[in-house]
Chains A and B, each alone.
Chain A
């Protein structure tokens, strides 16, 4: 049995230590906002925060999360009122939406460290998050708006 805290709630799960955090969160705990996209840390659809750090849940064994605090998209804010979530809706960033929880979680980790990022810093921080629909220019703009910067650099 492995204990971890997810979005402020304590959970004890019966899982092999090498089971990825992604499947623990999705299949055992039932939070499906974190997405499977590649299973190999290539696409970023599964990004969550582990003690505030952005990690790829698909390659993070649950043993590594034991006793630590996990934040998923469901726990990023109470009512979807994180500045990034608000900017994402205001600018109509999502198309299909599948990658967007990972995009937002990566961007949230960036803003926590760099409240006023440059476009280059946004691109670097989100380099691991693929959006096949191609919402990248709006993602950049929404991160800037959430940071209180003008839409364009």
Chain B
């Protein structure tokens, strides 16, 4: 028995080494797999000791003697469909029957490689890795069958949950082979053969929603739904201003509320906010309602700290000033100033987009049970490994003493990559000496978010006498995400500028992009498509403005400005590097042809030319992000009440190879609605450093009555390396609709949102 454990441990190590070597081509993957390599072998062995009987060549797949295939979903399910998609890649590569595949959700563990579910990276980064995991198991099952039949393994095939030797018409089920296969040495990942794409039967098809039946019956378990015996519930009053802290508090009245057990002050975060809890005062009670009422009865005075100066009106002027002056040059081709001086005319416009809150329908919630120096957590987290690290840090214990279980995530959009709320639960469980669920209210969620950043941009072009664009200058200023981790960061980072500014193909001889200073006074986070939201909006609107300035069809202007099909190089772009979402451009080039193609396709499908000639108000925009090109056409009409109605939207995406066509379609439909919220609705504003909004009353998002009558989705058939899907649909939506509204009534929208009071 002992020998067997050691054996398994050896095999785990060889798997990890193999994975590390294979990941050499993937920049993001490399880091992740390096982390996996660093996992101590003893730990891997300990895990393997408890492994069930059968074949477990790697942490992702297990074949039981009964023939059940268990596949681990290591990414978090938050509506994008990973739990209905990723297992199919492994199962197809293995040759498993999907009806006999069970999906289990991974806890946070480095042995799975990267688990941070954001950046639209699940399929784009894991596609090859998941195939390898399935192929390892297949190789072993085939090897056992071939040995039993005394035939070459090359004559055997795995399909329909069995290995077949077609010539002799013999077959053995996976279950019959699993135990012996588990005794074999795990094959070298570098040497295993992946199947030809044509044999991956389900990849690219419309696959069923695995969690659908659980969700529609209320059985699906989200962050707040996990129960433990003796658990308590905590609600926290956090400092209204980032960097603020509790000066004094009086808990007398809170403690008098029936059901309240304890009132605890949480530690004040040190240094940059990062993923630390915000501090404040927690009320721990028997149930959620008692905790909420207890919190309402707290009396707290705050020391607000230096960010009390943050005022959105003043700040808007500050960052607009920033883009009215030269910034740090981040992209340069030719000489824009000379071109402006020599131009027949110039066109310039400023854009301002507010802070946004994620406002996922499920507010943050986590349950923690701290006992005997160890902590187990159940959380709605997009990043269970970060949650594990943060909980360990907050408690001052080793990560090996922390277990993070991942529930269904009731919407994430980037918010739930940050584990501040998970650490709160851990700290409070230790204080209460009982399991504690921390429940964020909607008000907490809106007021204490890691906000999408506020931004100002200035775009300017030079036109020659024929209307040809001879120069393009893009200035952008926004508090950057790195400021959340390092307070000295006050300018947009290269990675953020890589989201639409540095990587925009421009067939224009003089190009310059500049980054302006914009210090942060709140925690800046990433929201679905991140900086592409505002860069895509400004670029998409400005191209339309240029088209109208020169009296041309916007479609023609788009194609003219992007230029001919080619791969954008750093030299052409005038940048040191095209960040390209962490993927080398050699592996996944910026294909201008791909962007042109989605524009051509969406205008074809929407009947762009005929409808425009007939006087219909259509708007177009396009944007490449997360390695995927997307174009949108929107149709605007006057409603019965005279207000504009967005009647139909067409969205075309080239995401390379896709796994689950049905979930890809649903993501793109959702992206249209998400983009419409950006355009029409919410804005987060600050007064004296504190958020003014509280709930959906004053932070509105799209409702059903505003949704288009039809959303037409087209995904370009492709066998190219996968791009992202969850985010890239969002950026072109708001500008396409804004351009349609311009076509409808001649009003140009450069500040968002449209329906709320003027932001800031």
Contact = CB atoms under 8 A, between A and B. Distances in A.
Interface of A: 16, 19-20, 23, 26-28, 30-40, 42-43, 45, 72-74, 76-77, 80, 84-85, 88-89, 92-101, 104, 119, 122-124, 126-127, 129-140, 152-153
B362 interface: yes
Given A136-B673, A137-B707, A96 B361 contact: yes
A135 B705 contact: no
Contacts of A140: 704, 707
B27 to A, nearest CB: 29
Nearest to B439: A36
B471 interface: no
A35 B362 contact: yes
A74 B292 CA distance: 26
Contacts of B213: 80, 89
Interface string B326-363: 00000000000000000000000000000000011111
Nearest to A89: B212
Contact of A98 (B411, B669, B677, B710): B411
Contacts of B701: 130, 132
A46 B410 CA distance: 14
Interface string B359-370: 111110000000
B367 to A, nearest CB: 12
27 contacts: A27-B233, A30-B227, A32-B221, A32-B224, A32-B225, A33-B218, A33-B219, A35-B224, A35-B410, A36-B439, A37-B363, A37-B442, A42-B695, A89-B212, A92-B208, A93-B212, A95-B667, A95-B670, A96-B79, A98-B362, A124-B705, A129-B704, A130-B703, A132-B359, A134-B669, A135-B670, A137-B708
Contacts of B94: none
Nearest to A136: B707
Contact of B703 (A95, A101, A127, A152): A127
B702 interface: yes
B507 interface: no
A38 B707 contact: no
A135 B662 CA distance: 13
Nearest to A42: B696
Contact of A43 (B212, B361, B709): B361
A34 B289 contact: no
Given A38-B696, A89-B212, A134-B671, A96 B78 contact: yes
**Helix, strand, loop or mixed for chain B's interface?**
loop
Given A33-B219, A85-B216, A97 B408 contact: yes
Nearest to A122: B704
B702 A136 contact: yes
Instruction: Among B215, B362, B674, B697, find the residue whose CB has the most chain A CB atoms closer than 10 A.
Output: B215
A122 to B, nearest CB: 8
B154 to A, nearest CB: 40
B363 A36 contact: yes
Given A36-B224, A89-B209, A136-B704, A80 B216 contact: yes
B303 interface: no
A31 B209 CA distance: 23
B632 to A, nearest CB: 14
Interface string B388-418: 0000000000000000000011111100000
Given A89-B209, A95-B666, A134-B672, A100 B215 contact: yes
Contacts of B212: 88-89, 92-94
Contacts of A152: 710
B211 interface: yes
B217 A138 contact: no
Contacts of B258: 16
A137 B669 contact: yes
Given A127-B704, A131-B704, 14 more contacts: A26-B224, A30-B227, A32-B227, A34-B218, A37-B442, A38-B695, A38-B696, A39-B441, A42-B697, A73-B217, A94-B209, A94-B216, A96-B78, A131-B361
A20 B672 CA distance: 35
Given A36-B288, A98-B361, A137 B710 contact: yes
Contacts of B227: 30, 32
Given A36-B363, A38-B442, A23 B669 contact: no
B225 A97 contact: no
Interface of B: 77-81, 208-209, 211-213, 215-222, 224-225, 227, 233, 258, 287-289, 292, 359-363, 408-413, 439, 441-443, 662-663, 666-667, 669-674, 677, 695-697, 701-705, 707-711
A99 B662 CA distance: 20
A9 to B, nearest CB: 15
A119 B710 CA distance: 12
B696 A23 contact: no
B669 A135 contact: yes
A100 B216 contact: yes
Contact of A37 (B361, B666, B677, B704): B361
B663 to A, nearest CB: 8
**10 pairs of A and B residues whose beta carbons are closest in the complex:** A33-B218, A134-B673, A98-B410, A95-B79, A96-B79, A97-B215, A136-B707, A73-B218, A134-B670, A27-B287
B436 to A, nearest CB: 13
Contacts of A85: 216-217
A14 B711 CA distance: 49
Contacts of B695: 38-40, 42
A28 B443 CA distance: 23
Contact of A88 (B216, B410, B439, B443): B216
A1 to B, nearest CB: 14
Given A35-B361, A37-B361, A92-B662, A97 B221 contact: no
A132 B292 CA distance: 24
Contact of B362 (A31, A33, A34, A96): A96
A96 B710 CA distance: 21
A42 to B, nearest CB: 4
A43 B446 CA distance: 14
Nearest to A124: B705
Nearest to B365: A36
A85 to B, nearest CB: 4
Given A132-B359, A134-B670, A123 B79 contact: no
A30 B666 CA distance: 32
A55 to B, nearest CB: 17
Nearest to B211: A97
A99 B653 CA distance: 27
A132 to B, nearest CB: 5
B696 A130 contact: yes
A100 B212 CA distance: 10
Contacts of A40: 442, 695-697
B437 to A, nearest CB: 10
Contacts of A16: 258, 289
B361 A23 contact: no
Contacts of A88: 212, 215-216
Given A43-B696, A123-B705, A133-B411, A23 B288 contact: yes
Nearest to B711: A137
A72 B221 CA distance: 16
A127 B705 CA distance: 6
B198 to A, nearest CB: 26
B451 to A, nearest CB: 16
Contacts of B662: 92
